[in-house]
Structure 1
Amino acid sequence: MKITWKTIAPLGIWLAIYLVPVPAGLNADQWHYFALFVAVIAGLILESMPAGAVGLIGLTIAGVAGYVEHDPNKSLRWMLGGFSESTVWLVVGAFVFSIGYRRSGLGRRLALMLVRRLGGRTIGLGYAVAFSDLVLAPATPSNTARSGGTIYPIVSNIPRIYGSEPGPTAGRIGTYVMWTAFATTAVTSSLFLTALAPNAAALGIAKKIAGVDINWSQWFFGFAPLGILLLALVPLLSYVICRPQVKESPEIVAWSSNELAAMGPLSRHEWIMAALVLLAMLLWIAGSNPNISLPGLGSNFINATTVVFVVISLMLVTGVVAFDDIAAEKSVWEVFFYFTSLLTLSSGLNEIGFIKWLTEGYARPLASLTPTLGMILLVSFFFWIHYFFSSITSHAATVLPVVLAVGKGIPDLSVPTLTLLCLYSLGLMGVISPYATGPAPMYFGSGYIGKGDFWKFGLIFGMVYFAGLLVIVLPWLRLIGW
């Protein structure tokens, strides 16, 4: 491997933080673990080496140093803990679904149908992708399942039709289409209570701590002014930020019609794949939704990740995919090691008490501020601290109680308004990093969005989404008396 400044820079960042005197309230292991975490993030941003390698090296150093567990055997169990996380396997399943779409030909057929209808202009494809997620979101409690099982496998086939492949030609149209899909799912995850699993869990926390409880329609009504606006703006903003090289392609519409005609009727494997996708959607909607009960099965009768294993097994049995196809898919295993490592490392920050120290240290001085300033700073903290998390659920469980407790201590601050702003942040904050939410690693590992670009786009869209919370949702909640 060639040694460059990008290889050295993360080590320099690690050493600089490591040598800083340990802040009051922390011990040496906690501070040095934080230094390692920042160095790993720097390595990912700078692309010092493949993302999977960066994450694995960081995880290994943390385990050997015993930052989280001093006992070597417990430290090893901690290192391996992320490999059993259900979200990791949902992400892996998304890539396998994509293989099934590709090998069966169904993905190409669906992509050609979208291109035939809206492919004359690139911006039209962006809106088609956004609308697809919007339709699925209200009934799919897992955004990882929604993106991985349906949106990503179809969308990933569109760029190839335009001669846009991962790598040098990604900018033709692939970067735009893939980023639009990812940025949209962050919006729909906040727009509907049932579009993101942690939404309901966080609402349960809010009910216990702040006495705030709203139903599905109230949730939608409170966020709709921003959510609907963002759904209209995301394809346009992505178009400006990603700058696709292909703007219009009228000839591609006629070409796609000819290609569809040449494909003929659906093949056996396409029918099977379509049936398996419908089965997955049915199980995701009904199987993990507490509001839906089936005779003889009740509610919550199957986990979303278990659904993935069921469908992959059926794909193997029916011959839609071969196990060799899965083993040969390089991107699957790079994302597997990268996301597993980051999931474990970020959870380690919470396990060692660093997040609690940071949260309480930031929040304590806010109790003496004016209500408006206090609310803005608390929501800012709740949103942007997600850079230290790879799980929205753990973020909500760790930070939300502290933020609400501090908010209740600020005279005249509207705790219901603060609560809703935090709850509406949960989906939106998923856009800020390549590990912030379940769908992120899929798009990060697709090869269509440059690793550095992913961080840059995430920061830009994160700032837009966050500004929308303060400029649109905050006044709206006050206007309607929440």
Structure 2
Amino acid sequence: MSTEQRTSSNTPFKPLWLLIAIIVLVGILLLPTPADLPEAGHRALAILGFAVVLWMTEAVSYPVSAALLIGLISLIIGLGPSIEDPSQIMESKKALKWALEGFSSSAVALVAGALFLAAAMQVTDLHRRIALLILSRVGSKTNRIVIGAILVSIVLAFFVPSATARAGAVVPILLGMVTAFGLSKNSRLAALLVITAVQAISIWNVGIKTAAAQNMVALDLISKTMNVSFTWSEWFMYAAPWSILMSIILYFVMMKTLPPEAHEITNGQEMVRQQLQEMGPLKNTEIRLIIVSLLLLFFWSTEGILHDLDTSTTTLTAIAILLTPGIGVFSWKEAEEKIPWGTIIMFAVGISMGGILLKTQAAAWLANGFFNLFGLNAMPILSVIAIITLFNILIHLGFASATSLASVLIPIVIAIVGALEHEGLNTPGMVLLQQFVISFGFILPINAPQNMLAYGTGSFTVKQFVRTGIPLTIIAYLMILLFSSTYWKWVGLI
């Protein structure tokens, strides 16, 4: 998933930023509690400030930040007054239960299952075979290889629910094609192909519910606070048309902003065919994984239509089959080595943090401030969408994790749209729309783990990424407004 975090071994400790986070925490705690905010909400905002500094600066690794947050929630909120009866202490036991609630979420089970599925793809190398097969069909002209990179990202999004794993499959192949042509890995052609691939991955994190972990944060919070759920097929109906059009736009933006040195890679197709030959025929494990993946996609897409099995249940059942000796495709030991366990911890605590912002009324208090600042109720709904979406895009510039951004922003969005008085407004749909925007990671390499994986190859500069990302973000923003005024209104999303 797109929120797969870098481990503590390659996330350097930044003591200055940790100190600043502590200062923010203490500073907010020392401020007087607003009259319209419970003391628990005040303390939750202090912890939120601490978390935002950690997440934006990566002062410590994401799993470490999750452990710190569990401790802070238990102590600071637990030793404060109860929301129901401010004369009584809440007790750390109750606050700890809040801090750990995310671990019991079915969304976390889905994320864990998806990471196992991504690991199965890596162990069998099936995702690489799919990428090579698609690239072998597109031809040797540069523009067609760009199209192939986009198609690979789209196809893998259906079967590999990890943006980082998808990038890890396709980027080395694209760089191999560049090398086959005799160009260096920091050539303009390399930059064009690699950036295209990771931008397409971000676009399809929007289009497919199971493509990104941050989607589960929003869905879990919507389900708990609004008692509404979105099936895989409903999500696809809402988001896929936007992603399809953005994929077409991506092609033209990339060819315009990063035109390649050459129009054809004469040896590229030979290299792809050679790699396919080296892989040999389909292995039994690959065949079994294909069957399970296709069945899983069928159950995802027919949820609520042909059956009532939710996405988490079908995914975990598929993983159980894939791990079963004799009929599975990998062992627990093989899976264990490839699962970023810290991602699951971070994801669960992120869900807990979002729930705490809602329970303590901190999210509603922030939403009221947003209302007073912009006077949203007096505005047409399209203007409301325009303002919240722009804020969402701007704040994303400071976040390397879409999961952490969703944990912070989605509870506030839920409170904002819940207070809107526009007649007939689909408030869960409005929240879902902003979750689409949270997957925008187009401007900076640090805005998404798949971007950082690609950036680590040295195939492009930050300047090149920004040159493609700014026009993509502007167009994506305008497309959000266009769909909000047309398609999403017609299908009842807003």
Structure 1 position 344 matched with structure 2 position 352:
yes
Whether 1:109 aligns to 2:129 is yes
What residue identity is the alignment partner of 1:325? Answer: E
- Segment drifting more, 51-60 vs 67-76: 67-76
1:362 corresponds to 2:385:
no
Counterpart of 1:402 in structure 2: which amino acid? A
Deviation at 1:304, TM superposition (A): 1.1
Give 3-state SS (helix, strand or coil) of 2:267's partner.
helix
Report SS of the residue matched to 2:32.
Answer: coil
Within the candidate set 103, 110, 121, 1:90 is matched to 110
**Which of the residues 161, 175, 181 maps onto 2:201?**
181
* Secondary structure in 1 matching 2:36: coil
- The within-5 A match list for 1:210-289 is 229-234=245-250, 250-286=266-302, 289=303
**Residue 160 of structure 1 is aligned with which of 151, 172, 175?**
172
Give the deviation of 1:449 after TM superposition. 6.6
Q: Which amino acid aligns with 2:418?
A: P
| Residues 112 and 260, structure 1, Cα contact 8 Å, conserved in 2 | yes
How many equivalent residue pairs? 422
Distance 1:471 1:234, change over 3 A: same
Structure 1 position 160, deviation (Å): 3.0
* Deviation by residue 1:414-448 (Cα, 9 ceiling, x = unmatched): x66x97983772452231589xxxxx999569845
Q: Decide whether aligned partners of structure 1 residues 442 and 46 sit closer, same or farther in structure 2, where only a CA change above 3 A counts.
A: closer
- Alpha-carbon deviation of 1:53? 0.9
Closer, same or farther: CA 223–270 of 1 in aligned 2, 3 Å: closer
Q: Hey, what's the Cα distance between the residues in 1 that align with 2:112 and 2:43?
A: 31
Query: Alpha carbons of 1:163 and 1:368: their partners in 2 closer, same or farther (altered >3 Å)?
Result: closer
Q: How much does 1:7 deviate?
A: 3.3
After TM superposition, the structure 1 = structure 2 runs for residues 377-388 of structure 1, keeping only pairs within 5 Å, are 377=384, 380-381=387-388, 384=391
Deviation at 1:48, TM superposition (A): 1.0
Q: Which residue of the partner structure matches residue 57 of structure 1?
A: 68
Distance in 1 between residues matched to 2:75 and 2:38, nearest whole Å: 18
**CA pair 79-242 structure 1, distance change in 2 beyond 3 A:** farther
Question: How many percent of aligned residue pairs carry the same amino acid?
Answer: 14
Deviation at residue 346 of structure 1 after TM alignment: 1.8
Matching residue within 30, 43, 56 for 2:54: 43
Query: Deviation at 1:247?
Result: 10
Runs (5+) with no aligned partner, structure 1: 137-145, 190-194, 209-214, 293-298, 409-414, 435-439
Shift of 1:274: 0.9
Question: How far, CA to CA, are the matches of 1:7 and 1:247 in structure 2?
Answer: 49
The answer on 1:291 being equivalent to 2:302 is no
CA deviations over 1:177-199 (Å, ceiling 9, x no partner)? 2342122331566xxxxx99989
Cα 1:118–1:469 shift into 2, 3 Å: same
TM-score, normalisation: structure 1: 0.69
Local SS of the residue matching 1:156 = helix
Provide closer, same or farther for how the CA distance between residues 246 and 399 of structure 1 changes in structure 2, counting only shifts above 3 A.
farther
Deviations 1:292-340 (A, max 9, x none): 3xxxxxx31x2211222212111121351111122222x5212112111
Show the counterpart of 2:401.
none
Distance of aligned partners of 1:433 and 1:7 in 2 relative to their CA distance in 1, 3 Å threshold: farther
The 1:343/1:241 distance shift into structure 2, 3 A limit, reads farther
Asked whether the 8 Å contact 1:383–1:422 carries over to 2, the reply is no
Distance 1:255 1:63, change over 3 A: same
Structure 2 residue aligned with 1:124: 147
Distance 2:471 2:97 in 1: 37
1:74 aligned onto 2:91: no
1:73 aligned counterpart, secondary structure = helix
The change in CA–CA distance for 1:26 and 1:424 in structure 2 (over 3 A counts) is closer
Instruction: Indicate if the aligned counterparts of 1:52 and 1:338 stay in contact, CA closer than 8 A.
Output: yes
* Residue 335 of structure 2, aligned match among 316, 323, 326: 326
Q: CA deviation at 1:60?
A: 1.8
Contact kept, 8 Å, 2:202 with 2:440, in 1: the verdict is: no
CA distance 1:105–1:130, shift in 2 (3 Å):
closer
Distance, in Å, in 1 between the alignment partners of 2:123 and 2:337 is 13
Aligned AA for 1:80? L
Kept in 2: contact 1:7–1:48 (CA 8 A): yes
CA offsets, 1:200-247, max 9 Å, x none?
x989x99x9xxxxxx98xx86x996x6654232245557899999999
Q: Residue 51 of structure 2 contacts residue 69 of structure 2 at CA under 8 Å; is this kept in 1? A: yes
- Aligned residues: CA RMSD: 5.0
- Normalising by structure 2, what TM-score? 0.67
- Which whole-Å deviations, capped at 9, do the CAs of 1:388-415 have from their partners, x for residues lacking one? 6439997776543322x2x34xxxxxx6
Q: Distance in 2 between matches of 1:119 and 1:10?
A: 52
Change in CA separation of 1:51 and 1:114 when aligned onto 2, cut-off 3 Å = same
Deviation digits for residues 23-80 of structure 1 (CA, Å, limit 9, x no counterpart): 3411343223212213212212212121111122122211222259722222222222
Change (3 A) 1:279 1:291: closer
Q: Which residue identity does 1:26 align to in structure 2?
A: L
CA distance in 1, matches of 2:322, 2:129: 18
Equivalents in 2 of 1:107, 1:469: separation in Å? 31
Does the Cα contact within 8 Å between 1:55 and 1:338 map onto a contact in 2? yes
Cα distance change on mapping 1:73 and 1:19 into 2, 3 Å:
closer
Unaligned runs of 5+ in 2: 1-11, 83-89, 177-184, 210-214, 396-404, 457-461
1: CA distance, partners of 2:201 / 2:218: 20
Q: Which residue of 1 aligns with 2:314?
A: 307
